[in-house]
Structure 1
């Protein structure tokens, strides 16, 4: 199945429009905007309301651009679940006892302590597997029913890919525009290829384009809600359009980067790599004084 150019354009435009409209409406969020305000890497206040707006854009654009009911439903489940648990973590995280990194949250769960981050890991993981189950056909291209083992393996690989993508994009959301640039760079070729996931990728691209200016200006940030949602949406775009070997390769890359983030600082790696440094700095305000970063930052 291919997704035609018109549907891809509609998905991108629908996503961008929904993102901008939602962001405007959220200026009047019930309870005020104070609880959505955080301090960025410069020590300045920045709003996380771009997160729910980006999630809304990805959801609307995904439905418009999906190309099939199956793919639209899978994208909605993955994106919606990631956004929901991400926002819960944004608003309820205990900043006095911060558990950082995937390893930290899984370790806390193993000790019987449920952190908001641990709850997010479980929730996004469950949503990703459910989305993968929806997206994975039970019949092969010849119409014959697939073996339960083969179908189950595909679901697990795809679910892990979606969850890992959601997590990695969130790890990148530590500097203005970084996460949005990353998802845009990955989504663009997927959208242009015209495969089954092209419309979903176009929706991610439209959402990223709509939110980039405010993110670069440091008025807004995605927060966990927006970054997890865009990562899950992008992962779903890959899942519905790629073969098992490709999905396994992508998953291996995502896992490797996630494990690396526990030991190294992405910000330091980017700063030492000329091409990455230039892309990362494009459109941003002049750099703030360097601060010491922990692993994965």
Structure 2
């Protein structure tokens, strides 16, 4: 009986995000265009942005259904915090996607705009929102002072990390998959064995969205990038030991400092292997083969 229930769970974990993606995909893109959620990609093409809202809906609804089916007595505290964080991080990304402001880049640019022009950019507001949300979640998860600080930084920096790579089709999701594999391995055999069925809706939904993203049909936007980064951050602060967490924090700080000085796109373009991986399965990759 237990084997049958486990098999049904796995089937639903695959089927639910597939169903919601197919049902919501066309409606979401039409809605984004009608509400003027459109911007230019790196090629200058006008595409619907904030498409990550489709990803958020597919994953969240699927996980909520699965959770209620397996835990009919209610939602536990940790999962409630995950849902609250999902809503908050998605909102901060969404408000930035809605902003027409596109000229200010990087944290230095947002701080300099505040300093010189005495105005707060949407990106600066998003950053404060992400940090505030991360702090509240960290306090709820771990009341100890130092751990609160570490968890806040991990959550906030991960939430922004995927956004740093969301400059070419499919790149942000590839980086998300890479970090997800690292976290899965680092979490240990016992925890990995417990958590992997719950990762299926996330992997399924991101694979489905990747197809549209890589083909240049829709942009993930800050809405999706911040959400995917939040998943990585929440996984890290709840399931990974302190040594790995500290190592990841150092890496996150290093990547953010590097992003203020150099372009990740230039680094990738200057390395043959990284460039091939970056273009694998994308419109750019196919067009290069045809020319």
TM-score, L = length of structure 1: 0.79
Task: Give the CA deviation at 1:276.
Answer: 1.7
Q: Does 2:123 correspond to 1:117?
A: yes
Q: String of CA shifts for 1:226-275, please: whole Å, max 9, x gaps.
A: 11111111211122101222211111101110110111110111122233
* Distance in structure 2 (CA, Å) of the matches to 1:64 and 1:51: 20
Q: String of CA shifts for 1:66-111, please: whole Å, max 9, x gaps.
A: 797233222222222111011111112424xx22102222344466
Q: Does 2:94 correspond to 1:87?
A: yes
Report if the CA contact (8 A) 2:154-2:233 is conserved: yes
* Distance in structure 1 (CA, Å) of the matches to 2:177 and 2:165: 13
After superposition, residues 144-223 of structure 1 pair within 5 angstroms as 151-188=144-181, 190-191=183-184, 194-195=191-192, 198=196, 201-223=199-221
Most deviating of 198-207 and 260-269: 198-207
* Distance in structure 2 (CA, Å) of the matches to 1:286 and 1:54: 23
Q: Does 2:289 correspond to 1:284?
A: no
Q: Which of residues 84, 102, 109 is equivalent to 1:104?
A: 109
Report if the CA contact (8 A) 1:51-1:225 is conserved: yes
After superposition, residues 127-146 of structure 1 pair within 5 angstroms as 127-136=133-142
Residue 126 of structure 1 corresponds to 132
Most deviating of 73-82 and 59-68: 59-68
After superposition, residues 247-286 of structure 1 pair within 5 angstroms as 247-286=245-284
Unaligned runs of 5+ residues in structure 2 are 1-5
Higher normalized helix content (fraction of residues): 2
TM-score, L = length of structure 2: 0.80
Q: How many aligned residue pairs are there?
A: 270
- For the residue of structure 2 that corresponds to 1:29, the secondary structure is helix
Residue 26 of structure 1 corresponds to 28
Change (3 A) 1:248 1:189: closer
Report if the CA contact (8 A) 1:169-1:231 is conserved: yes
Report if the CA contact (8 A) 1:190-1:197 is conserved: no
Unaligned runs of 5+ residues in structure 1 are 137-147, 290-297
Q: String of CA shifts for 1:47-67, please: whole Å, max 9, x gaps.
A: 114221122234335546779
* Distance in structure 2 (CA, Å) of the matches to 1:54 and 1:153: 33
